[in-house]
Structure 1
Amino acid sequence: MRPLADQNRTEPTTFSSCDRGNVAVIFGLSFIPLVLMLGAGVDYGRAVSTKSNLQQATDSAALAVAKTIVATTTNQQAQSQAQVYLLTNVRNAVAVVTKAEISADRLTLCLDSTAQIPTTIMKIAHIETITTKATTCAQTPGGMNGTYEIALVLDNSGSMSKSAGGKSKIAALRDAATSFVNNIYSKTTDVKMSIVPFSAGVRVLDPSVSSNRTLSWIDVNGNNSQHWLVFGDGSLVAATAKAAAKTAGFTSRFDIFTKLKSLNSSWDWGGCFEGPKYPLNVSDTAVDTSNAETLFVPFLAPDEPSTKDKYNNSLYTNNYLAETGGSCSGTVTGDWKLLTRACKYGKPKKDGSGAGPNSSCPTSSSQTVLQLTATQSTITTKISGLTENGYTNLHEGFMWGWRTISPTGPFAAGRAYATKDNHKIIVFMTDGFNNWQSATSTVTGSAYQAAGYYSYNGTANQRFPDGTATNGNGVNYQTTLEAAAGSSTDYHDTSRNMQDELTLEACTNAKTAGVEIYTIGFSVPVDPIDAQGLKMMQDCATDANHYFAATDVDSLNAAFASIGSGVGKLRLSK
């Protein structure tokens, strides 16, 4: 029998067991609040980050939309425009502009916005979202200071007929560009604008005006080295080719057009020109009548051979004359000789189904370049008539846009580059990318465009970059593309890279000269611009803030609306 003291002693093991149970209960009861506290910290941190992002996005939206306000702009319109910017710039949340208010003097825009941030761990407590808010006001002194020369360089290629959601891309462009013009003119009268529609080529002049064929900057005597390359009986020596054309009775391409018009009334000169040799074709070079290389050659797509492949398919795209007709005597062999035979234009005889001498030249009178003018109604009328057709040649469009605001040639309509408080601006819009039709297993490698052919029977095209430009990519495209002649390899992608290089060198040179460049890539989901095309437009712009990507009608309107160059220095007032 144990002593009484031993009988009353509590066993340590029993007490220890009870203690563990109590701790488990206490920990279990405190776990859920602890998790919620930690979760609240995580979600609160995300809310703080989103609030900062929302404020920045709301500030940016206010600054952008404030530029576009005109006398007729409503609060609802401003709210809708601001919403487009907000959706683009707010991350990881659903953001909404809840209010937009324009001041009575039209100089201040205030925005309220909210963002709903989805929670993570706090959902345990049935808290699904956290709401954060932002408020801002943007104020502008109003008006535009200085004088402005603005070139609207607008893609009119065939793909502009496709839908942008609710309307065609060309219709959306007409509306957005018209609003842009009206907006600018509501702020200043010290502005001139030009409109440069482009596709595979640019219709520079109205061909129905006879004096447009004798302008001092046109190569009317056939002295430019590129004038007779495809009309010189096979010779690529400029003097020899010119002599061959003279023997056939021609002193300029206008003489050939006279003959062609007698055969088909639509085969008269279409108002387009070909590009100068490189690097004149990427710079703003003054026209010098004593230097034929600075003069512009009228565009004339040559008749191409009727040669077929083993499946009886035509190798060439533009056969429109009989190769042994005209004033020719005897026969020649070989596609290059057939293509460049000048005598077939003497008394031309129609043959084939090619588009003719204006292939790659826009044929609609509404696509003629509108040179610099201060008349608002003339500008908006031109925009209202824009139509779509053909391939895309961004380089050609950009260069003619630059030339319209140039103080030198060919139009010499712009003020001098150093003119105080004068702003030279290009707004450059496309829905695509450089696209030059190829033609494998031919002596040219391609269809004919403003830059000629990929190759001249294995001889280099001197209009292409030669890799020597300090601001270029170092690729000699003259050598690369001359191999396209006679090759079964498709050089289309190489030609695109070449045209991109021409475009970017031109953009760089224009910026160096003091031109401000805005670019818009109109890339709709059903017909997108690829990554290479979008990057080229980004690189062409003055900086990242001068580039806009539009994916539908609303964002195209927003892009044009935000391009408020010189509208005045905006500031945030709240």
Structure 2
Amino acid sequence: MIFGLMVVPVMLSIGAAIDYGRAAQTRTTLQTTVDSAAIAAGAAMLNGGNPTQIAANYVQQRFAYTGRTVTATTTVDANAGTVTVRAATTQPTAVMKIARVDTLPVVASATASIGAGGSKKTELVISFDTTGSMSQGGRLATAKQAAKDLVDKVMKLPSGASNPNVRVGFVPFTRYVNVGVAYKGASWLTNSQDYTETLPQNCYDTYPHIVYGPPYRVSQTCYSDGVAYDCSYDTADVVSWGTPVNVCYTPTYDHKWYGCVGSQASPADENDLANATNKVPALYDNTDCPSPLIRLGNDQTAINNAIDAMSANGETYIAPGLLWGWRLLSPNPPFGDGLGSSAANKILVLMTDGANTYGASYPEHNSADVAASNAKLVKVCTAAKGAGITLYTIAFQVTDTTIQNILSQCATGVPYYYARPAKK
């Protein structure tokens, strides 16, 4: 009799455990969903979209396959710079129906904040592709405007005053990065001092009496950063070389460092540390180097001026551009400007039009091994995210599916990757 009396409560207890376990699984899914929805709604707020609609759509789409009703409410605090998404649904019970409990409530909420929102500071760095292919299809102008809009929204409070909780850095990149000549002689660089090189005397024949035939045009196509351009030229055949005249001279070359840096030996080019025992190679006389990076700070005018001054030139190697963005955010040398991850939201935004065309040949970047360059980018992305950095990747008119997948993989999650289509 006692056993018979105990069967029902025991079964209800077991059933409750099963039903509550299923509800807990649903809540985990719901929490992950509202986390992403809050990020997407925050991005919509920054870009002039509708945060409420974006969040609702995101939650509904995630749970559409279940047939379950999910309600989502979004609260926007423009002054604090926060978006809070709260979602609620129910978990149908199985065994607990015996006790007339048909459903269990499931609720989750998340808040996305940037700038003044929350108790943390915000540190944001934009790594900006300024290579030759950005000259196509209005990409550079579009990317410049997008970068300036982002900087303006992040660095200003709704009142228009400067946001004291935000610092921003900027890293233009081609296949190289320019750290700036202000660091000439720094302990974390290999020898970066200018020098003069004198070589042994060299003698050669000149032909001052050479005679050429009629000039003609040679048509040909060249490529810069994967973009074709006309590099035809005029020439003429030699009819007579004439009597040679021997000339001797002593070659002297002035080598100057303009701030351009290469890569430390792998795997040192996959982490943020650069110091006296882990030096970054300084590269001399390099013309394929963009304007200097800008360290974390609150000078919006300096950032905007740097963005405006950029021109499209050079080849693409994305990994160093991303790496130096991470180094600006890092509390470690060479700069040490970043706060610890517990004290600041760290955001790195990669803006690029896509495919690598060069890679590391150590210390320079003259390798044509694109597969290795792609693999290196994934490693740097993974390491940066592992250091507590939220990574956004923005692809401008990227059509290469390989790099699309890599940029998507690099981002912190699905809402953190954005592909901007070509203009129609």
TM-score, shorter chain, exceeding 0.5:
yes
Q: Is the 8 A contact 1:149 1:425 kept in 2?
A: yes
- Determine which of 255, 265, 280 is the counterpart of 2:268: 280
Counterpart position of 2:147: 177
Matches of residues 542-557 of structure 1 in structure 2 within 5 Å? 542-552=412-422
1:216 aligns with 2:144: no
Cα distance in 1, alignment partners of residues 423 and 149 from structure 2:
13
Q: Is the 8 A contact 2:179 2:292 kept in 1?
A: yes
Q: CA RMSD in A?
A: 4.4
1:421 aligns with 2:352: no
Q: Is the 8 A contact 1:156 1:197 kept in 2?
A: yes
Determine which structure has the larger strand proportion and give its number. 2
1:500 aligns with 2:371: no
Q: Which amino acid aligns with 2:373?
A: Q
Cα distance in 2, alignment partners of residues 173 and 297 from structure 1:
30
Q: Is the 8 A contact 1:172 1:553 kept in 2?
A: no
The alpha-carbon deviation at position 65 of structure 1 amounts to 5.0
1:399 aligns with 2:399: no
1:538 aligns with 2:412: no
Count, aligned residues: 298
Counterpart position of 1:192: 167
Q: Report the 3-state secondary structure (helix = DSSP H, G, I; strand = E; otherwise coil) of the residue aligned with 1:154.
A: strand
- Determine which of 245, 251, 269 is the counterpart of 2:257: 269
Q: Unmatched 5+ residue regions in structure 2?
A: 1-32, 62-74, 84-109, 158-162, 201-251
The alpha-carbon deviation at position 190 of structure 1 amounts to 1.0
The alpha-carbon deviation at position 63 of structure 1 amounts to 7.0
Cα distance in 1, alignment partners of residues 198 and 49 from structure 2:
64
The alpha-carbon deviation at position 531 of structure 1 amounts to 0.9
Counterpart position of 2:386: 512
Cα distance in 1, alignment partners of residues 334 and 312 from structure 2:
26
Q: Is the 8 A contact 1:62 1:82 kept in 2?
A: no
Cα distance in 2, alignment partners of residues 149 and 432 from structure 1:
25
Cα distance in 2, alignment partners of residues 190 and 410 from structure 1:
23
Q: Which amino acid aligns with 2:256?
A: D
TM-score w.r.t. length of structure 2: 0.59
1:432 aligns with 2:403: no
Cα distance in 2, alignment partners of residues 104 and 510 from structure 1:
30
Q: Report the 3-state secondary structure (helix = DSSP H, G, I; strand = E; otherwise coil) of the residue aligned with 2:391.
A: strand
Give percent identity, aligned residues only: 26
The alpha-carbon deviation at position 283 of structure 1 amounts to 1.3
Q: Report the 3-state secondary structure (helix = DSSP H, G, I; strand = E; otherwise coil) of the residue aligned with 2:188.
A: coil
Q: Deviations over 1:528-555 (max 9, x none)?
A: 431111111111112222211111479x
Counterpart position of 1:24: none
1:299 aligns with 2:283: yes
Cα distance in 2, alignment partners of residues 406 and 141 from structure 1:
21
Counterpart position of 2:132: 158
Q: Report the 3-state secondary structure (helix = DSSP H, G, I; strand = E; otherwise coil) of the residue aligned with 2:253.
A: helix
Q: Which amino acid aligns with 2:253?
A: L
Counterpart position of 1:379: 303
Q: Is the 8 A contact 1:201 1:360 kept in 2?
A: yes
Distance 1:552 1:421, change over 3 A: farther
Q: Deviations over 1:435-494 (max 9, x none)?
A: 128xxxxxxxx9x7853554xxxxxxxxxxxxxxxxxxxxxxxxxxxxxxxxxxxxx4xx
Q: Is the 8 A contact 2:166 2:298 kept in 1?
A: yes
Q: Deviations over 1:364-413 (max 9, x none)?
A: xxx21111112222222222222211110101111111111121221122
Q: Which amino acid aligns with 2:293?
A: V
Cα distance in 2, alignment partners of residues 63 and 404 from structure 1:
23
Q: Is the 8 A contact 2:177 2:262 kept in 1?
A: no
Q: Is the 8 A contact 1:197 1:397 kept in 2?
A: yes
Cα distance in 2, alignment partners of residues 401 and 373 from structure 1:
13
Q: Is the 8 A contact 2:122 2:346 kept in 1?
A: yes
Cα distance in 1, alignment partners of residues 155 and 298 from structure 2:
10
The alpha-carbon deviation at position 496 of structure 1 amounts to 0.6
Counterpart position of 2:90: none
Q: Is the 8 A contact 1:201 1:449 kept in 2?
A: no
Counterpart position of 1:360: 288
1:521 aligns with 2:391: no
The alpha-carbon deviation at position 520 of structure 1 amounts to 1.3
Cα distance in 1, alignment partners of residues 258 and 406 from structure 2:
30
Q: Which amino acid aligns with 1:296?
A: V
Q: Is the 8 A contact 1:521 1:529 kept in 2?
A: no
Counterpart position of 1:260: 253
Distance 1:530 1:450, change over 3 A: farther
Q: Which amino acid aligns with 2:135?
A: S
Q: Report the 3-state secondary structure (helix = DSSP H, G, I; strand = E; otherwise coil) of the residue aligned with 1:298.
A: coil
